[in-house]
Structure 1
């Protein structure tokens, strides 16, 4: 990689949500991302390498795995706003590092036993309880109500059989959170009835008896190994079910709202990386006896890219602030929850489509050099392209938005 990071020429403007504490946290995340994460990404991404455990340990010491964990359990006690703000900074260097913090953040809060719950929260805040999420299946991706992986009760255990796909970090994780079907829906019930979430505790860098995995080769989003998992009689204690029976689908949907804002923040980080890299490159690259930054067409393209990044950042911060406000008020009303789901889908749609286009513009501004692995901009594009797909494709986001704006006719 030949690019060198310089301080962004566009200042980060104070917003209505700005506080000195947030600024300090953002600066800490930015310095870590550029000094520690970016060199690791430049070294390991071309080899499809995994995030080193030593880097995860540093993130744990900085508190990035416990942003939303209460201070009484060793976390920072902050909200979705700070969580997404830090994710943007980390994703600017390597998206997988902006993603891995989602695999903690108080994982285990749904555990029934209070002592066990407190222990897991403390470990989560330190980065010592990092998991994986197994939702999708070969025939159940956007349609999670179609999940078929079964958890059949046998005494004090569930016996899990089925297949999960797109499970990032599965083998390296301390646990896997699995969406399973414990019962079939009764006549007249929704297809999602009978779904539950079960936590599979495991040793790092291995799979327990009854679980095997095959790696999925990807064009980007390296740092994680992504797995196709086969459950064949895996036994898990019934006590490892989160919440009460039948709430798995609702829990997954609530989690996805936060995940979609988090994805928007990661997309902004990737797009910002393309803008900052182009600022450097356009002043270095000379044609016709001028740096190409002198040419109006190039300047206007960069200006539009930068404006779109700022727009998307303002939107994700607004939605994150709204989610935090509703949480501090003790939960949202049904109407507010619907509006929150709509806005989470809107910002995920807008920010990720923006990132895919802005990073593609970044490649274009690099010319032929952009179509090489010699510059970071191709990595930003590969990773940004995925953001339009995971946590619900852009098409699914449009469906969520439209369904909340337009009621269907009785004949529809």
Structure 2
């Protein structure tokens, strides 16, 4: 594989060993209990530099690229996708690219050490894929703003050390619904929600290890200095850098699928029926062959996308392709893994059902499969009327 240099191979092998020894045992214990990712695991990840892979060396990060970020992500997802998602809470979270130099110097070194992790509050009950429909308001008040409104799907709102909030600071001009949104960076005490913000966890079928919140802001005060970038331009900040976010999601999906394949191969070699292991049967062998092929196809496409990102090439279409292909693939592969496990796969005694539940989410977050198809088709055919 020409993409994998010796340095990258070492990063990959280290992440694989860490996942097998540290992540997988924790996941197998806590996911069935819907328990939270423990602090000691976060501390071990921080020691390896996983929260600062993308953060420049001048701020204490590793200064590496999307490729290394996705290599680590894939390996972590083989154990628990939530852990692979957690590293995104330090690695230049959405909007960080628009921070002032003063903000970057204050926050990025702590983020790189894993001491200062964030949550992103953008979606609302009526604003998911259509983020221009955000109605949460930030009203000017003296030297700051008062935020009021509801937010949805804010994962890690309680455990985070800061929130990035997108709110409407002005009405959008006709035909430009995306204008008038602003982005705020707000520090908070870990383990609590800040004054003026209340919320409750949303019941989920997977993605355990941390909680996802519905939030309500009631005259929640932020200062003008908390704003990231220019007032009214948050739409552009939220949508820039999506190539990296989508490559990251593709890597999570690939890792889930690889975990399901690993477990299926092991189970097929151990499970005996009709006086021999089920891995002897052609039906099982062909399933495993197809699973492995689909995983490798997604992996190679993601390697290409990562290389494009790291060399500054435009790849919005290809990033959407790999996010679409990898997430759809992961659900199929994990489902086949359950089939190979038979009745055992439908229990919580095997990790394959966890991979399957989490794989289903990859088709929804960071832009649904339908949104990816829209982006791809628009790039190929031009924008449609609908």
> What TM-score does the superposition give when structure 2 sets the normalisation length?
0.97
Q: Superposed, which structure 2 residues align to 1:22-37 within 5 Å?
A: 22-37=8-23
- Are 2:97 and 1:122 equivalent residues in the alignment? no
Contact 1:106 1:125 in 2 (8 A): no
- Are 2:366 and 1:391 equivalent residues in the alignment? yes
Partner of 1:96: 82
How many Å apart are 1:256 and its aligned residue?
2.8
Q: Secondary structure at the match of 2:174?
A: coil
Q: Superposed, which structure 2 residues align to 1:55-204 within 5 Å?
A: 55-107=41-93, 108-112=96-100, 114-188=101-175, 190-204=176-190
Q: Distance in 2 between matches of 1:234 and 1:257?
A: 32
Q: Distance in 1 between matches of 2:371 and 2:102?
A: 39
Contact 2:243 2:309 in 1 (8 A): no
Uncovered stretches (5+) of structure 2, i.e. residues with no partner: none
Q: Distance in 1 between matches of 2:103 and 2:347?
A: 50
Contact 2:98 2:237 in 1 (8 A): no
Q: Distance in 1 between matches of 2:146 and 2:356?
A: 41
Partner of 1:377: 352
Q: Distance in 2 between matches of 1:276 and 1:186?
A: 53
Partner of 2:308: 322
Q: Distance in 2 between matches of 1:325 and 1:61?
A: 28
Partner of 2:272: 286
Contact 1:153 1:238 in 2 (8 A): no
* Alignment RMSD: 1.3
2:254 to 244, 254, 268: 268
Q: Secondary structure at the match of 2:159?
A: coil
How many Å apart are 1:156 and its aligned residue?
1.6
Q: Distance in 2 between matches of 1:47 and 1:18?
A: 37
Q: Distance in 1 between matches of 2:15 and 2:383?
A: 45
Q: Secondary structure at the match of 1:133?
A: strand
Q: Distance in 2 between matches of 1:215 and 1:199?
A: 22
Partner of 2:295: 309
Contact 1:95 1:270 in 2 (8 A): yes
- Are 2:198 and 1:212 equivalent residues in the alignment? yes
Partner of 2:213: 227
How many Å apart are 1:106 and its aligned residue?
3.3
Cα gap change, 1:287 to 1:395, in 2 (>3 Å)? same
Contact 2:77 2:252 in 1 (8 A): yes
Q: Superposed, which structure 2 residues align to 1:237-256 within 5 Å?
A: 237-256=223-242
Contact 1:349 1:397 in 2 (8 A): yes
How many Å apart are 1:109 and its aligned residue?
4.8
Q: Secondary structure at the match of 1:275?
A: helix
Contact 1:267 1:355 in 2 (8 A): yes
User: How many residues are treated as equivalent by the alignment?
Assistant: 384
Q: Distance in 2 between matches of 1:258 and 1:176?
A: 20
How many Å apart are 1:153 and its aligned residue?
1.5
Contact 1:359 1:384 in 2 (8 A): yes
Q: Superposed, which structure 2 residues align to 1:7-26 within 5 Å?
A: 15-26=1-12
How many Å apart are 1:42 and its aligned residue?
0.6
Q: Distance in 1 between matches of 2:379 and 2:251?
A: 23
Contact 1:281 1:366 in 2 (8 A): yes
> What TM-score does the superposition give when structure 1 sets the normalisation length?
0.91
Q: Secondary structure at the match of 2:42?
A: helix
Q: Secondary structure at the match of 2:382?
A: coil
